[in-house]
Amino acid sequence: MAQKEVKGRIASVKNIQKITRAMEMVAAARLRKAEQRIEELRPYASAIRRMTRQAAEAAQGIPRLPILAPRETEQTVGILLFTGDRGLAGAFNSQIVRAGIRAGADYRAQGKKVRYYAAGRRGVSSLRFRNQEPAGAYEGFTDRPTYADARAIAAELMVAYVDGDVDRVEVFYNRYVSPLVQVVTRETLLPLNQASIMEDGEGADAGQAAAGAGQAVSHNGHRALTEYEPDPADILERLVPSYVEISIFRSLLESTSSEHGARMTAMRNASENAGELIKDLTLQANRERQAAITQEIMEVVSGAESLV
Amino acid sequence: MARTPFRVEVLTPEGEVFNEEVEMVSTHTSVGSVGILANHQPMLAMLDPTELRIHRAEGEVLSFAQGEGFLQVGASHALLLVDEVRTPQSLDAADLRERVRAAQDRVTQAQEGSEEHRSARREERRYGAWLKLLEGAGGH
C-alpha cells in the first residue's frame, strides 16, 4: 500500500520536473531575445544623443524645459516599480516591491506624499494588497515590452510632473547582470538630470561618442549650412523628452532580461530539487519493495514450517 | 531617367527598419511635406506622424506608418530616427479608431494649456494620421 503511494509521488515529482525543465528552457530562449533587444536600442539611443548635442550647440544650450526643472519643495514623490506579469522567478518581483515600499515609507516619514506607479501585474497586485492603489498600472506586456509601452508610461509620468501632480519621480527595477545576479536599482527619472543629457554615455558608448565629437569638429566648416526645421530650440523640446522614454524603455528591457534570468535560475534549482526528491523517493520505494518481499518470504517459510 | 541613389537609414528603438540605397524619401516634418533626394542640403528636422514613402527605384515604393521622430540629412545619407514604424499591414483600423476616440476624450476632458492636453493631442495626431494612411490605401 505504502509502496503504491511512493510510486505515485515519484510520478508526480517527475511531471513537475518536466514542467520546470520546460520553463527553464523557455526562459533561456526569452532571455537571449531580451538581451538582444537591449543591444538593438543602443544605436537609436546614441543617435538621439548625437542629435541633441548638435541641436544644443546650434541653440547655444538646452532650453529650460519643465521636465528639467527641479522643484523647490517636494511634496509628492512618484515611485515607479518595474515588476513582471508572472511569478515563479525567485525574488525578482518581491525585492522590487520591498524596496519601493520601504522608500515610500521613508518619504512618508519625512512628511511627503507618495504616488505609486507599477509596470507588471505582480507589482500592481502587491501594491493593492498593501492598500496602496497605484496611480498608474501598466500590465500585460512585461514579457516583451514595446517602445509604445514605454512611451505611454513616459507620457503619463511627464504629464504628472509638468502638471504638478508629482514633484519627483523615482524608478525601481532589476538591472540584469547575469542569470544568477539581478541588482535592484533605484534612479531618479524626473526631474531629468541636465548633465546626463550632454554626457557621452557610459562604457561602450564612450568610443563612439568620441568619434562623434571628432566628426563635429571636422564638419565645423559646414555647420552654418545646416538647415533646422523648426528652430534647434524647438527640436530640443522634443528631443529631451525622448530621454525619458528611452530611459523607461531601457528599464523595461533590463527588467525583462532579469525576469527571464531569474526564472531560468529558479526553474533550474527546482529541477535539481525534483531530481534529488526522485532519488530519495526511489530509494524509499526500493526499500519498501524489499521489505514486502522479505515479509512474503517469511510468511511462506513460516507457513511451510507449520506443515512439517 | 533614374535618379542618383543615396543611403537611407530608418532606425527605431526596437532596431533598424531599413538601410539601403534609394532614390527618394518622402515624409512629413513639423514644417510640412518633404521629398529628400540625393545631395540635399544638410538638415535637422522633426518628423510628424504620417505615411513614410521610400522610393527604392522607378515605380517601387515602400510605405510605412511613421510615428514621431527626427530627420538628419547629410551629404550622401539620410537618417530617420522614428519612435515607431509600422507596416500598413500590421495596423488595424478599428483599433486606430478606438485610439483616436480615446485621445479625443482625453483632449476634451483636459484643461487647455495643460501638459495632459498637449499629450492627448499628440496621440490623436499620431493615430489619426495612421488611420488616414490605412483608409487612403483602402480606397485605391
CA–CA distances in Å: residue A305 to residues A299, A302, A308: 10, 5, 5
Q: pLDDT (tens digit, 9 = 90+) per residue, A139-150?
A: 999 999 999 999
- Reduced to 3 DSSP states, what percent helix, strand and coil does chain A have, rounded to the nearest 5? 65, 10, 20
Record: contact A238-B46, CB cut-off 8 A: yes
How confident is the model at residue A201, as a pLDDT?
Answer: 53
Nearest-CA neighbor of B137 among B101, B86, B99, B103?
B86
Best of B19, B29, B40, B46 to mutate (most A CBs within 10 Å, chain A): B46
Record: contact A147-B119, CB cut-off 8 A: no
Q: What are phi and psi of A139, to 5 degrees?
A: -130, 165
pLDDT exceeds cutoff 80 at B138: no
Average pLDDT over residues B113-118: 91
Give B99's contacts (C-beta < 8 A, 6+ positions apart).
B123, B127
A235 — contact with chain B (CB < 8 Å)?
Answer: yes
Record: contact B84-A230, CB cut-off 8 A: no
Record: contact A41-B13, CB cut-off 8 A: yes
Instruction: Using CB atoms, pick whichever of A37, A54, A246 lies closest to residue B44.
Output: A54
What is the pTM assigned to this prediction? 0.87
Tens-of-pLDDT digits for all 308 residues of chain A?
478 888 999 999 999 999 999 999 999 999 999 999 999 999 999 999 999 999 999 998 888 899 999 999 999 999 999 999 998 888 999 999 999 999 999 999 999 999 999 999 999 999 999 999 999 999 999 999 999 999 999 999 999 999 999 999 999 999 999 999 999 999 999 999 888 887 765 444 444 444 444 344 334 444 447 889 889 999 999 999 999 999 999 999 999 999 999 999 999 999 999 999 999 999 999 999 999 999 999 999 998 888 87
Average pLDDT over residues B29-55: 93
Instruction: Using CB atoms, pick whichever of A44, A229, A238 lies closest to residue B12.
Output: A44
B13 — contact with chain A (CB < 8 Å)?
Answer: yes
How confident is the model at residue A220, as a pLDDT?
Answer: 43
Secondary structure class of A117 (helix, strand, coil)? strand
- Nearest chain B Cα to A66, which residue? B115
Whether the Cβ atoms of residue A251 and residue A82 lie closer than 8 Å to each other: yes
B9 — contact with chain A (CB < 8 Å)?
Answer: no
Number of Cβ within 10 Å of residue A168's Cβ equals 19
B113 — contact with chain A (CB < 8 Å)?
Answer: no
Instruction: Using CB atoms, pick whichever of A44, A230, A239 lies closest to residue B31.
Output: A230
Record: contact A225-B41, CB cut-off 8 A: yes
Report domain extents, chain A.
32-263
Distance (Å, rounded) from C-alpha B39 to C-alpha B24? 11
Nearest-CA neighbor of A90 among A8, A182, A18?
A182
Record: contact A228-B11, CB cut-off 8 A: no
- Going by pLDDT thresholds of 50, 70 and 90, the confidence category of residue B137 is low
How confident is the model at residue A65, as a pLDDT?
Answer: 92
Record: contact A228-B44, CB cut-off 8 A: yes
The larger pLDDT score, comparing residue B55 to residue B3, is at B55
A245 — contact with chain B (CB < 8 Å)?
Answer: yes
Distance (Å, rounded) from C-alpha A272 to C-alpha A75? 50
How confident is the model at residue A205, as a pLDDT?
Answer: 44
A163 — contact with chain B (CB < 8 Å)?
Answer: yes
Best of B72, B83, B124 to mutate (most A CBs within 10 Å, chain A): B83
Cα dihedral sign, A150-A76-A124-A93: positive
User: Which uninterrupted H or E stretch holds A13?
Assistant: helix A2-59
Which CATH superfamily groups domain A32-263?
ATP synthase, F1 complex, gamma subunit (3.40.1380.10)
B26 — contact with chain A (CB < 8 Å)?
Answer: no
Angle between helices B115-139 and A147-162 (to 10 degrees): 150
Nearest-CA neighbor of A204 among A41, A32, A28, A29?
A41
